[in-house]
Amino acid sequence: MFAMQSKNPLTSRIALVCLLLAGCGAAPDFVHAPPASYLAPLAPAVHGVWARVGKDNGERVRVSGLADGTVRIDFFKTRPSAQPVPEQPLMAQALHFDNTDWLLIDMRKLSALDGGKYTGSAPYRLIRYVLDDAGRLCGSEPGAHLFGEAIEAGKLEGKVTADVMPRMRVTVTSAGADWVTWWSLLPASVKTFSQPALCFEKMD
């Protein structure tokens, strides 16, 4: 799906993708990242160790951020298992636009952690993250169909490819500033995200 190559396709790739990409569903791929002006530091409450809600298999992520918006995600386990975790952290970017907090994942970096190489041309994926009233950190991706409709209507540049229904493959080639502006101007009532959201609970 993400043009990743791996020596262990059933091990660390699955762990990484399921941890970081909410639901692994249809979501747009972006050729261009948002402008650096949208970089923002993580909220202090997001720093710490998190475990997936409802499925505690011992996998943990330690999240820490720098003032420039760089996010470090370390993976570890609290008990042994046959499924390895990356020894190196994943470096991502925290963004804020449209009154929303986002995490920008570079699939080239994600693939490298899994011992593979990203071979596509649209390496960026976008995750909305929300710290809810229960203290859970939940992530979801913007719906692909909205971007696909905008591309087909000439509002954005890109490509829409049919996939296994009801999913579609949407590649956005518009400049980062352009697709961010388009998204921000959409009414809140029409914005859709992958469901269900992937949620984590804090462990420290």
Would you give the DSSP letter of residue 179? H
Q: Confirm whether 44 is domain-assigned.
A: yes
CB of 62 closer than 8 Å to CB of 81? no
| Cα 138 to Cα 30: distance, rounded to the nearest angstrom | 22
Q: Confirm whether 163 is domain-assigned.
A: yes
User: How many CA atoms lie less than 13 Å away from 37 in the CB half-sphere?
Assistant: 5
| pLDDT mean for each 10 residues of the chain (204 residues) | 32 45 67 96 91 81 91 87 77 95 90 80 91 87 92 96 69 98 96 83 87
Q: What is the pLDDT of residue 12?
A: 40
Angle at 86 between CA 84 and CA 92, to 5 degrees: 145
Q: Confirm whether 2 is domain-assigned.
A: no
Which are the contacts of 74, defined by CB distance < 8 A and separation ≥ 6? Answer: 61, 62, 64, 89
CB of 117 closer than 8 Å to CB of 5? yes
Question: What is the total count of domains within the chain?
Answer: 1
Q: What is the pLDDT of residue 33?
A: 97
Q: What is the pLDDT of residue 149?
A: 94
Q: Confirm whether 4 is domain-assigned.
A: no
Residue 51's identity, in one-letter code, is A
Which are the contacts of 189, defined by CB distance < 8 A and separation ≥ 6? Answer: none
CB of 103 closer than 8 Å to CB of 10? no
pTM for this predicted structure: 0.84
Q: Confirm whether 80 is domain-assigned.
A: yes
- C-alpha dihedral over 35, 27, 40, 44, to 10 degrees? -170
Q: Confirm whether 3 is domain-assigned.
A: no
Q: Confirm whether 6 is domain-assigned.
A: no
Q: Confirm whether 151 is domain-assigned.
A: yes
Range of the domain at 41: 12-202
| Cα 161 to Cα 85: distance, rounded to the nearest angstrom | 33
Q: What is the pLDDT of residue 164?
A: 54
Q: What is the DSSP string of 87-140?
A: SSPEEEEEEEETTEEEEEEEHHHHHHHTT-----S--EEEEEEEE-TTS-EEEE
Q: What is the pLDDT of residue 63?
A: 93
